[in-house]
Structure 1
Amino acid sequence: MRAAIKEAGIDDIGLCTDEKIHTTLAMVHTYPDGDRDFSFYRNPGADMMLNKTEISEDILKETEMQISKKL
């Protein structure tokens, strides 16, 4: 994943990896009327295993989008 991100020109400075935890997959089914159903593959997924020590407040402060929930 890191190589693909770098190849796309995206800064990977905040990317965390773990050989035992997989990236969560999200699948979206969009109906003709625009309604959507979401399915997730987690066992558990990386989004569930992320912890405070892996999040850089300095990086968050420099982003254009920030998490609104207190970490």
Structure 2
Amino acid sequence: MVRSRTGLGVIAQDGGWDAVAHRSAVRGDADRVLVAGSRMCFDVTEDADGVRADNIRPLTRLCFSPAERPQDGELV
């Protein structure tokens, strides 16, 4: 995530387009969630303006569907 004074940044998706992110789309404390190099999960919205990240939150086991969810002791 690249931060700027405007609250806008870019999140790189695994195997997809980069998504524009705004500080207001972060769930929780944005300064703790938006740490450079950290992994996070988010919803992707695509509209006429491009790809946008919504509902940004830290990556946890709950970010995965039950079939894909890591087991206890596996790294996320």
TM-score under structure 1 length normalisation = 0.22
Higher helix share: 1
TM-score under structure 2 length normalisation = 0.21
Higher strand share: 2
